[in-house]
Amino acid sequence: MSKSQGTFIEINLSSLKHNFDYIKSLISKKTKVLAVVKAYAYGSDPVKIAAFLEKLKVDYFAVAYTSEAVKLREFGIKKPVLVFHPQAENLSTIIKHNLIPTLYSFKMLEFFKDTVSRKKVKNYPVHLKINTGLNRTGFSTKDVNRLINSINNDNFIKVDGIYSHLSSSEDKLEFDFTQKQISLFTKTFKKIIKNISDKPLVHICNTSGVINFPDAHFDMVRCGIGIYGFSNKLTKSKSLIPVVSLRSSISQIHLINKGESVGYNRSYIAETTKKIGTIPLGHADGISRLYGNNNGFVYIKNKKAPIIGNVCMDMLMVDISKINCEEGDEVIIFNEKYSAEELAESVGTISYELLTALSHRIERKFIN
């Protein structure tokens, strides 16, 4: 029994390898794997995770923003890094660090060609993003002729990839919509490829796409959440093992009488005598106030302890009246057994948000 370790995030690299191998087992040998390490590698640790995946021979990495990609390069990551949302002001940084920008509009395409020409570079690899219905970023499929003309007009860029993003790959009820996205994407990339000289990689699947749409893996799949062993509730796969667990310990125990309150604004009032545990984890660590007042919970000695009162900035309190435990005992917020998905659902969110909200203040420990 570990005593008084404070709060820490444990990252299990053997589980990471297991998930990576499992995802590879779902795709053909020819299909490449792009590991998404945006948002601090889903709250874990981007450089350590990327270095480990590089050893496992992952093909590509992707991040959301240029600054995230620069960190990977500064740490010595050598594999291609795709930036989903590079932003115009960062385009020369993209070239400086040999990163692959996503070009998703004519404005971005022109900005990028401008940057490339000023640097006297030619055939710089880019991925083109096509909007097939998510309506977030991407060229309209109506503009495909104009896009082809622009690609063929000069030799500033080389089309290394063409991709799109699914809106509902985890949702069986939206199966028809996803199929429509996939066929619109197929029609569009075929037309582009037929009319340009480059041989781009085409890709559309995120983790749930890999699991639910085996015919749409194309040349590469982009996996984030699955590599970390989590999922959407609707694509829960028993074969994935959560890589990240969040643990803490009980700092102090109070015995309170009927009518006494707990925490700020007295939002919890004891109806009977209660045993209350204080845990060094708060909203500044990424556990939102929404988890307070009996919504969220933690596990102590394999028993569920509801979070009572308001979550403070640095601490929260749980009801341990029915648990035989003492100060210093281990607290599990989530791990392989007690799922992050279930905790996230208790406040109407998804594991993605719970994980990526975990603050950098929490110590990360690696086990292999």
Ligand X SMILES: *Cc1c(COP(=O)(O)O)cnc(C)c1O
**Region from 45-53, 224-232, 305-313, 337-345 binding ligand X, contact rule CB under 6 A:** 224-232
Site string for ligand X, 150-169 (x = CB under 6 A): ---------------x----
Q: Is 113 a catalytic residue?
A: no
Binding flag, residue 131, ligand X (CB under 6 A)? no
Among 15, 19, 44, 206, binds ligand X (CB under 6 A): 206
Binding flag, residue 226, ligand X (CB under 6 A)? yes
Catalytic residue selected from 38, 113, 129, 274: 38
Nearest distance from C-beta of residue 303 to ligand X, angstroms: 32
Binding flag, residue 31, ligand X (CB under 6 A)? no
Binding flag, residue 225, ligand X (CB under 6 A)? yes
The 10 Å Cβ neighbour count of residue 2 is 10
Q: Output 38 or 274, the one with its CB closest to ligand X.
A: 38
Q: Is 38 a catalytic residue?
A: yes
Among 35, 41, 91, 223, binds ligand X (CB under 6 A): 223
Nearest distance from C-beta of residue 226 to ligand X, angstroms: 6
Number of residues that bind ligand X (CB under 6 A): 11
For residues 56-95, which are near ligand X according to CB under 6 A?
84
Task: For residue 337, give every residue at least 6 positions away whose Cβ sits within 8 Å of its Cβ, in sequence order, or none.
Answer: none
Q: Output 147 or 166, the one with its CB closest to ligand X.
A: 166
Q: Output 225 or 315, the one with its CB closest to ligand X.
A: 225
Binding flag, residue 283, ligand X (CB under 6 A)? no
Chain position whose Cβ is nearest to ligand X: 224
Nearest distance from C-beta of residue 269 to ligand X, angstroms: 41
Nearest distance from C-beta of residue 328 to ligand X, angstroms: 36
Q: Output 52 or 297, the one with its CB closest to ligand X.
A: 52
Q: Phi and psi dihedrals of 175, rounded to 5? A: -55, -45
Contact residues for ligand X, defined by CB under 6 A: 36, 38, 84, 165, 206-207, 222-226
**Residues classed as catalytic:** 38, 264
